[in-house]
Structure formats: structure tokens, C-alpha cells
Structure 1
């Protein structure tokens, strides 16, 4: 009979909804899983998938080394790893809840008992007492409360793992971004210093012409002003380079100034040797860690509806214990032995508060679904925006390259004409200003292309695949 009762109890259904990805979610829309828009002008490969180590597409050994150091030593990653280990422990704890529980107790004491409690008029002598008990109980998860709690803990663990992947993606993008900022700052410094050198030479020519009676003081004043303007452009570039160096040091888990040798001397930023692989919307949604994190939070919120609903029903345990209690000298004899066996039913009758908690968890699941949809739409918007900006910035660089070439040609021609006395100094000065501006603008635009590429890798989910990366190590 007892076995039949246990079988009947364990056959009870698990309360609460079984989780499945909502069919009406943004994740399931055909448009969200289609190819990206407006990729025609961008140098991208729409059908190619990101490799596990997207930063290796730059074929830069220094960048590869920096990323590996950051993944090993970054402090924020260590924090994320600790959060993941804690979530794993919580899940193990939830899995261990319910089922069989064991308890053992033993004690020996010398006691003075109250005479009045035994209706005695004289003081009782001190006695030695002993007691011991071994108990075992089994908690039936009749309505799936423990099962749903374990499901929620498992989903929380997976959401935390996704958060760690997101931290890795962000870290790699920040490391690559800081490194290319250093390279571009050095390049822009070189361009600015070269423009300054040209202008200083032009000033020297003006000084010689004045000494020969062919120049005027206003021309020298204009040359001095142009030199000062170009010199003023150098400090911001140096500050930008130092800020990027300090940021990179922090990302590597180091104090400012502790960069690996040669990183601060990078004069040319790495470039892609092939079109940037972007895949399609379906691959994006499956790859982005923040979307996976939001989906797992939705699963956890759905499971907690079942946990709250199970509070409407009783909790049943089956327990047994055996032991002895009495005088120490008699301990273990038949008159000190005791045992018990039977079920324990506890039931907190549902109240309006219980139903309110259920409604709260249902609202939490609705909010988690909305956040999941929001993360999908946000990912698509970010990717499309990044693709559009990248395409337009590439067009801008092409125009600026043509402008710089023409400005360099005009500056060289005007400089020769001025030195030969065939054009006024102002014409040569204007041509040099145009060239300096074209050089600086082109260098800034090239730096923006590198930022666009890294940002695009970031919004694409970084190509991060922990299993594939580990397999290559």
C-alpha cells in the first residue's frame, strides 16, 4: 500500500508552464533572420561567417599577443568568472534540494533534574544522560516546485555564462580598439609633424627671401602663424595616444606605463586583408551573447512561475528515525530505544499574497520576454547602423584620398613657383594649408575606418565561440 501511495504521489504533474521560445517573439521573425540591408557599398562578405578569432583577420602578431594577455589577465573577466562559478554552485545546490535527507545526532550530559517537575519534595541526585538518533526523510516533489527551481537556477547559470562571453567579446574589442588608437595616433602625429616640417621649411625660405629683399614682413608673420597652428595640433594627439596606452594597460591587468615592448611605437594600424565577414541575421541572433543571456533570463522567469504556483499545494515528506535516550548506564537497552516512521504533511493555506506572488512572477516573465525582443531588435539596429556607417566612411576615405593627392600636387607646384618668384607667397601658403588639412583629415578618416571595423565586429557578436577558441589553443 505504501509503495502504491508513493507511486501515486510521484505521478503528480509539474505545475507552471513548460518553457519554449515564444513563436511570436522577434527572434522568430523571418525578417530578423534574413540577410542584412545596405551592404552593397561596404567591403564585407555577406555570406561568410566570422571566425572564432576575428582579430586574427588583421594578421598582426602584436594584436594577437595583446588579446591573449587580456583574456588571461583582465580583472573584469576574473570578476565574471567568479560570478559564473557562483551561479554553478547555486545550480548544484538547487539540484541537491529534495529527495533523501539524512540526520544523525548524539549527545552525553550530566544533569541535575528539577525535583518539583516530578512532584518530589527532596532534591534529586545528579545523573548521566545519553541520547542518540539517526533519521532519514524523503521529500516528494509532488508539484514540481524543486524541479522548477532547478530549471530556474540552470537558466540563471547559462545567463551568467552568456554574460561572461559578452565580457570576453567586449574585452577583445576594447583591446583591439586601444591598440589601433595608439597606431593611428602615432600616424596622425607623423602626419602633423611632417606638415609642420614642411611649413618650417617654407618659413625658412621666406626668411631668406626677406634677407634678399624679395619678401615682406607680413609674409613671415603668416608663416609664423601657420607654424604655431601646426604645433598646437600636436599636444592633443600625444594626449590621445597616452590615454589609449593607459586604457590598454588596464585592460591587460597592468598599471599605467606597463605596456609590452613595442606596442607604444606602432606607427601603422593593422588592416584587413579581406572583406569583413558578417554572415546574416540568423547567424547574428544565434551568436550574440546578450541575446542568449536575455533568452536564458526568460527561461528562468518562466520556471519561477512554477515555483510560485507550487506554493498553492502541500509539501509532503516521508521520514523514519531510530535511536535511544535515557540514563548513560542504560543506554542501548530496550527501555531506552525509540523509533518513528510516517508521513509529514505541511500546507500553508493559500492566501491573496500567494496569488499575488504568482501574478508577480507572470509579470516578470512578460517583462523578460519584452527584454528579449528588445535585445533582438537592438542587435539588428546596431548591426545595420554599423554597416551603413562603415560603407559611408569608406566612400569618404576614397574621396579624401583623391583630395589629398591633388592637394599634395598643388602644394608642390605652388612651392616651386613661389621659390622661383613666379607666384606670391600667399598662394604657396594657402596650398600648404590645404595639404596639411587634407593630410590630417585623411588620417582621421582612416582611423575612423579602423574604429568602424572593430565596432562592427563587436555588434556582430565578436565571432566568439568558446569551444572553437579553446580547440585552437
Structure 2
């Protein structure tokens, strides 16, 4: 390093190096957003789906046909399609109070501040002030007396590393990709939380309906047991008939505790999702008849899915980060320039420190170039390229999973409608058979065993119907989640949409 040089030629050399640092191209690959899969045209499944699902009998809840509207955009508050004010308020409370959401937002802020710190350290010159005093002893040489004196100094030091080969730009590009990754992680948390609240509320509603259906069956069996016991008292029927009925009542009653346990767990889960203790009051209760099944379902085009799913976008940012780190590793194989300068004053007395004849200054320029490192820098670049290949494979895996989620949800909705139609017809036939069997038994036309079979058939058919109704609600919510949840339409100041501040932006190739 050469120090304390001046003159027009020296200053021109410094400015030349500085200008080169500003205008040079960054080494390494320029990131490009991956193209959508070539096979993603206008459908998600091998065989095209019907434009609408089948419908169940009009008397069946959640039995309306659902129409798939291909290319229609998804609303930001997608859960509003169920038309439940209680559900809407619960989700809003969960988004505001859930600790997982708060943690994701805090991690985003951390990434933004880390980016700003890196930008401050790497982009701008470092300027530091220094004020010091020292006591020194110096020899005059040739046997002369040594002098002891104080030395006061004050200076401002400036240092800068021109980004000649793009190491700084690539480092900031990787840091910005980390910020964007965390932003999409916030969106993914937002989507998962809202979807979990919806599906748990639907599960609670389903369990309530199953418990109610089971209690209705149990009530009917107990009434029938009362009739049978009176018949037994008069000697009209054998004791085995009474025991069989009591056994049937006990079996149905035994199914209630597991359902009530599952309902309690759902209630506890809803409380935790809302950021509350399970013991806290004020949680709404959900029933299937308080939810509306949407009859029109927006379905994004497959080519748009890659820009909507937050997990795909997050995986893309990891790929972007890996691409930028290849540039960092490449730039490390080239020389690094440094510029520094200082201006200040030095004096043996503090009173004379700021006089004109006490001024001192220096300019310095340096170059550090790798000559031999045992192949370490080349190995680091190959490692960065391997990391990029791994990120690309992970991106494709995320992409495939996303398309599978949508395909599964679409097929599920189609088969759910068919299942509900079949279950509604089965429940209606079972109810009719039970009513007929009950009348025939009262007239002595059939045995008690035949009546028991009719009761069992109706009980199971009724519960199956409730489960089929709940499945349509749950798979409708799953479709909205699989399609990304409409976060791109949200403009309510959610932290996930906040831009990175206090740092220069890094352009990203489309």
C-alpha cells in the first residue's frame, strides 16, 4: 500500500478506480424468474373437470351445485364466502393475536433491518471520527537525551471499497432475496392461520351435528326401550328382546364421549389459534346451518398459480438468493480495491491542536488480489452452484406439490358433491324404512331384530350425511388455501406488504 500521496495524477487515479466501481457489471448469473411449467395450460387434472358439480336433494343442507369459474380472481378475505360474521371476526382476531403470526412479522422486520445494516456497511463509505492523546518517549539517537512529550490528535477517517466486480451488489441482492423470502413466509403464515381457523370451525360444526344426530337416535332408542320394557312386564315379549334393546342403547351412548372429546379439542384449538387460553370465554360456537356453501368457486389459471402461492414465491426467493451467492463467490476470485483517507490535526499541546500548522492528512489506495489459495475460491464457487441446483430442485418440488394440492381439492369437491347426493338419498331411504319398520313392529308384522337393523341403518346413514355435508365445506376451504388465498388483493396495511426501508433497492430481472 502506498500512503500520503497527492497531486493531480494521484487524485485522477483515485477517481478512476471509484468510477470503475460504480459502472462495472456484477459477476455471476442475473436471476430470472422461472417460467410456469409448460404443461400448465388450462387445467390441473389429466381429464377436464365438469363446469359444475352435481347437486343433492333440495332438502339436504350444503346440497347446492358448485360452479368452477376458471380465471376468476380470489378475494383477499376469501373466508367471507361462507357468510358467517362469527367466523370472519374470529379470523380477524386470530390474525391480530396469534403468536405465530406475530413471530413471522417480527422475523420479517429483523430481515429488513439486517438488509439495511448490510446496505449501510457495504454501499456507503465508512466515516469515523477519532480523538486521542498519548504520552511518548522518543530517542534523539547518537547518544542524545531522550525526549518525553504528549501528543494530541483529532481526525476524520474515510474508507471505501469500490464494487468493481459486483461483490457488494450480489451480497445485497442475496440479502434482499432473504427479505422477500421472509415476506412470503408471513403471507404463508397468514394463509395457513386463516385456513386452519376455517377448517377447525367446520370440524366443530360437523361434530356438533354428529352429536345432535346421535342424541336424537339415542332418544328414539330410549323411547323404544320404554315401550319394550312395558311389553315385557305384561309378558308379551321375551327378556332377550329387552336385553337387545338395552345393548343397542348402550352402544349408541358409547359413541357420544369420543365425539364430545373431539368437540372439546376443536374448541381448544380454536382458542389457541385465536391467541387465547382454552379457559378464556367469549369464543363463538359454530354449526353447519350457520355456514353458507358458496355456489361459485373462483379457480385461478394454472399459469397464474406460480405467482399466487406464497410457498412457491418463498421458494423462488431462496433460488434468487442462491443465484446471487454464485456472484459473490465469483467476485471473490477477482481483485478487491480499497480507498481511504483521513484529515485531522496533531500537536504536542492541546491548545495548538486546531491551529493551521497542526493539520495532517493522508490518502491511500490498495489492491488485494488472490494469487494462491489451494483452490479454495474455486471450490466455494462450485459449492454455490451446487446450492443453486439444490434450491432449483426444491423450487420444482414446491411447485409440483402446489399443483397437486389444487388438483386434489378440485377432485375432492367433485366427489364430495356426488357423495353428499348419495348419502342424502341413503338417509332418506333409511328414514323411510325405519318409519315403516316401526309401524310394522307395532302391528307384529316383523320381528324386533328387523326393527333393530332399521334403526342401525338410519343411525349410520344420518351421521354419514352430516359428515358428507362437512366435507364439502372443508374441501371448499382447502381449495381457496391451495390457490393462495388472495393475499395479492389485500391493501389494508398488513405488515407483510410493507416495503423495505432505509436501504437502496436492488433491481430484479423479470
Q: TM-score, normalised by structure 2?
A: 0.85
Matching of residue 447 in structure 1 with residue 459 in structure 2: no
| Residues 55-454 of structure 1 mapped to structure 2, 5 A cutoff | 55-96=79-120, 97-109=122-134, 111=135, 113-114=136-137, 127-261=149-283, 263-264=284-285, 266=287, 268=289, 270-329=291-350, 330-333=352-355, 336-349=358-371, 351=373, 352-454=375-477
- Looking at structure 2, the residues matched to 71 and 242 of structure 1 have their Cα atoms a distance apart, in angstroms, of 22
State the 1:257 CA deviation: 2.7
Greater shift, 310-319 or 37-46, is seen at 37-46
State the 1:52 CA deviation: 1.3
Q: Secondary structure at the match of 2:27?
A: coil
Matching of residue 11 in structure 1 with residue 23 in structure 2: yes
Greater shift, 163-172 or 208-217, is seen at 208-217
- Is the 1:158–1:293 Cα contact (8 Å) retained in structure 2? yes
- Looking at structure 2, the residues matched to 407 and 35 of structure 1 have their Cα atoms a distance apart, in angstroms, of 39
- Is the 2:434–2:458 Cα contact (8 Å) retained in structure 1? yes
Greater shift, 69-78 or 130-139, is seen at 130-139
C-alpha distance 297-55 of structure 1, shift in aligned 2 (>3 A): same
- Looking at structure 2, the residues matched to 138 and 413 of structure 1 have their Cα atoms a distance apart, in angstroms, of 93
Q: Secondary structure at the match of 1:151?
A: helix
Greater shift, 272-281 or 404-413, is seen at 272-281
- Is the 1:44–1:278 Cα contact (8 Å) retained in structure 2? no
Q: TM-score, normalised by structure 1?
A: 0.91
- Looking at structure 1, the residues matched to 183 and 453 of structure 2 have their Cα atoms a distance apart, in angstroms, of 59
The residue aligned with 1:31 is 39
Greater shift, 289-298 or 445-454, is seen at 445-454
* Higher RCO (CA < 8 A, seq sep 6+): 2
- Is the 1:46–1:280 Cα contact (8 Å) retained in structure 2? no
- Is the 1:144–1:307 Cα contact (8 Å) retained in structure 2? yes
State the 1:222 CA deviation: 0.6
What residue ranges of structure 2 are gaps of 5+ in the alignment? Answer: 1-8, 54-65, 495-510
State the 1:119 CA deviation: 8.0
Q: Secondary structure at the match of 2:269?
A: helix
Query: CA offsets per residue over residues 254-287 of structure 1, 9 Å max, x none?
Result: 11132524x2364635132323222221232221
State the 1:442 CA deviation: 1.5
State the 1:323 CA deviation: 1.8
- Looking at structure 2, the residues matched to 467 and 389 of structure 1 have their Cα atoms a distance apart, in angstroms, of 28
- Looking at structure 2, the residues matched to 195 and 350 of structure 1 have their Cα atoms a distance apart, in angstroms, of 85
C-alpha distance 387-5 of structure 1, shift in aligned 2 (>3 A): closer
- Looking at structure 2, the residues matched to 72 and 121 of structure 1 have their Cα atoms a distance apart, in angstroms, of 79
The residue aligned with 1:20 is 32
- Looking at structure 2, the residues matched to 197 and 416 of structure 1 have their Cα atoms a distance apart, in angstroms, of 18
C-alpha distance 355-427 of structure 1, shift in aligned 2 (>3 A): same
- Looking at structure 1, the residues matched to 73 and 23 of structure 2 have their Cα atoms a distance apart, in angstroms, of 47
Q: Secondary structure at the match of 1:187?
A: helix
- Looking at structure 2, the residues matched to 83 and 466 of structure 1 have their Cα atoms a distance apart, in angstroms, of 23
Query: CA offsets per residue over residues 275-313 of structure 1, 9 Å max, x none?
Result: 322222123222100111111111111111111111111
State the 1:74 CA deviation: 0.6
C-alpha distance 465-5 of structure 1, shift in aligned 2 (>3 A): closer
More helix as a share of residues: 1
- Is the 2:434–2:455 Cα contact (8 Å) retained in structure 1? yes
- Looking at structure 2, the residues matched to 225 and 129 of structure 1 have their Cα atoms a distance apart, in angstroms, of 103
Q: Secondary structure at the match of 2:339?
A: strand
C-alpha distance 134-94 of structure 1, shift in aligned 2 (>3 A): same
C-alpha distance 232-5 of structure 1, shift in aligned 2 (>3 A): closer
Q: Secondary structure at the match of 2:216?
A: helix
C-alpha distance 442-211 of structure 1, shift in aligned 2 (>3 A): same
CA-based RMSD of the aligned residues comes to 2.3
- Looking at structure 2, the residues matched to 143 and 241 of structure 1 have their Cα atoms a distance apart, in angstroms, of 62
Query: CA offsets per residue over residues 350-408 of structure 1, 9 Å max, x none?
Result: 53000111111111111111111221111111211222122212211111110110111
State the 1:433 CA deviation: 1.2
Query: CA offsets per residue over residues 415-464 of structure 1, 9 Å max, x none?
Result: 12212333222221211111111112222222222222222222121222
Q: Secondary structure at the match of 1:422?
A: coil
